[in-house]
Structure 1
């Protein structure tokens, strides 16, 4: 472990040393700029070393890991932009110097000086992600956004015309650090006044006890036709070491009790009917099923008692389930609600122009509304955050879906 830490710190130092050249060229002789640069870098080195030397079995869910992730991202991404400019500039300098040498220029001109304008441009561009990441850590992770969709169906029961769903996902209660802002988010959910609230998994990072400080806050959620939930991949405690299988099982049982205390009906490979007047729709909830993740979900079991003609909504945490099984399932599932990806908590979204996140490299359907074979999938960007304690460009989401009859 120690050798790996030293190699990683050496890698960070090389990035710092190379990017420092832009600061030297832009602020020649300025002692305070140099002091600020290396002071910040040393703080990052020390915190990285401390975090790995005290690494707990909570892994990426531990608070120290999140703080380290923030410092690393805040430090490395802007410097990578600087490195891109410096590398390009060095290629130009070497090429120019070699040409001058061949052309017989006088000694000392082989490598021209660094161009101050290019270095200042690199610093200015690097400042953009630096400010963005800082905003994401301090503000963005609680910058709740309500996203609305209206979906039309030929076979929606008439009495459900105008039926509204508020979907939340990926609470990750072990990451919260601001009660006031969290209470604002919960109030915002209630303000939507939807018929039902559906939570699509990952209540905690690993341990059920992470939710205990926030129970009273989330108990305030209300919906006239009920609150329903499913489990996400983090809810099972699979990503940490337990003293025994009994301890792990007890943790999961405690999580079930918390779900009940919160007023959520937890669906574990089962379905319920939501009644409105003389009509009903089927709500299906499966345990986590993800491509490359644990596959505890059993859709066939959950839908075993349903008729093919009924209107069906499915809650399944991982959106890969939709492509792998749901869209070709024997029963026509009208709407699937998922979460899981968080949109990687980092990306660019300008409606009508661009929608990109590193999550798209892993998940073809990573955020928002999709339609295929007459079946809809909505992927919520998540209410909370994990590992990196921030959100940049991909804000925490509260989704409101209105169902209409064509």
Structure 2
């Protein structure tokens, strides 16, 4: 409900900003179109609260959800870009009126109706034209981002050089998927394609680092897609926040059923899995999502608990890897000897310019590679999304190749 209140305020704010930047825009039928679009977008967001999260809209389910997401993104852009321009325009107008009043108070005043001087007029024209470009830019950016969001994943090849890596592990390949979010915008066919891409890349191990599914009606198909894994050492998975929110018991049971049937998928919840590769023992540690519900207050405490349990019995003779949904677990994994930690959760911010995430401040580890001594972290930009909007951060299936440094 809180998200809907925010979206309602965003739409009201967008209307106010547009009226300020372009007074004649929202009049007559155009005001009606804006009001209808805002109400329709809010109704689409509100529908799951009435009918249940997994309920589909009676008509045009996917199209209306895409429209609603695109409209909301455009409204947010209008508010973020248009508000400072509108405030600056008012400041310039106020300054012009103050100068006119000062001039009228002199002995030989300039006519009160005299046009503004050159610099003031230039600033007014620049701000007016810039303000009128805001809605065009908002709609264009939203459209491009939505198109990028639904265009499918890329296969990203990453070479990871690790000091003192045993010869048997030089060339070991890991396929990573994360944040797939099977649900409103991502179906099980998309997940099948992601697993197939890792199969075709010939990876030795596949991993899934959380936020697998949002729509439990698609759980059977989701597990079927994961079970298509053909990697030599199978697929190891961990839980994300969306598993905790959407139906943890059902999802854990589905993973357990696949494993019981001899499938290639194993879920690690504060646990580890050992295997041998070319005579070298390898341990993969998988930790649970650290927050209880949506509370961040317990994050550090739960991460410490997970580290204590999951890394128990680790041997220095092993090559140890760590899987975590939340990338903030990286220092704990590095302290306990994990050579490489793989994470997701951030979606890379979903927006980046020249490779730099626009919301870099939201997470300490946002996107790509990080180092702590001889230990490394890779944070994927995500294989799917719960909101189909991407700029500069494409969805990815990651193929990581270990090399001796």
TM-score computed with the length of structure 2 as normaliser: 0.80
Following superposition, the deviation at residue 213 of structure 1 comes to 4.1
Q: Deviations over 1:72-117 (max 9, x none)?
A: 2222313542332232122111101111111014344699999455
Alignment of 1:236 with 2:244, yes or no, is yes
Following superposition, the deviation at residue 126 of structure 1 comes to 4.7
Following superposition, the deviation at residue 217 of structure 1 comes to 4.0
Following superposition, the deviation at residue 165 of structure 1 comes to 0.7
Q: Secondary structure at the match of 2:229?
A: coil
Contact 1:380 1:397 in 2 (8 A): yes
Following superposition, the deviation at residue 274 of structure 1 comes to 2.8
Q: 1:90 & 1:134 partners in 2: Cα distance? A: 30
Q: Which residue number in structure 1 is paired with residue 347 of structure 2? A: 342
Change (3 A) 1:173 1:39: same
Change (3 A) 1:53 1:223: closer
Which range is displaced more, 70-79 or 101-110? 101-110
Q: Which residue number in structure 1 is paired with residue 49 of structure 2? A: 55
Higher normalized contact order (CA 8 Å, seq sep 6+, divided by chain length): 1
Contact 1:195 1:225 in 2 (8 A): yes
Change (3 A) 1:127 1:143: farther
Q: Which residue number in structure 1 is paired with residue 91 of structure 2? A: 91
Q: Which residue number in structure 2 is paired with residue 244 of structure 1? A: none
Q: 1:319 & 1:57 partners in 2: Cα distance? A: 34
Q: 1:195 aligns with which of 191, 196, 204?
A: 204
Q: Secondary structure at the match of 2:49?
A: coil
Q: Which residue number in structure 2 is paired with residue 392 of structure 1? A: 391
Which range is displaced more, 111-120 or 367-376? 111-120
Cα RMSD, aligned residues only: 3.6
Q: Which residue number in structure 2 is paired with residue 404 of structure 1? A: 403
Following superposition, the deviation at residue 253 of structure 1 comes to 2.0
Q: Which residue number in structure 2 is paired with residue 369 of structure 1? A: 369
Change (3 A) 1:258 1:173: farther
Alignment of 1:4-403 (within 5 A): 9=8, 12-24=11-23, 35-36=29-30, 38-48=32-42, 51-52=45-46, 55-56=49-50, 68-104=68-104, 105-108=110-113, 115-124=124-133, 126-177=135-186, 184-205=193-214, 208-237=216-245, 249-250=249-250, 252-257=252-257, 263-289=264-290, 292=297, 295=302, 298-323=306-331, 325-329=332-336, 332-345=337-350, 347-351=351-355, 355-358=356-359, 360-386=360-386, 388-403=387-402
Q: Secondary structure at the match of 1:175?
A: coil
Following superposition, the deviation at residue 219 of structure 1 comes to 3.5
Structure 2, unmatched stretches of 5+, are 105-109
Following superposition, the deviation at residue 283 of structure 1 comes to 1.3
Q: 1:260 & 1:376 partners in 2: Cα distance? A: 33
Change (3 A) 1:215 1:269: closer
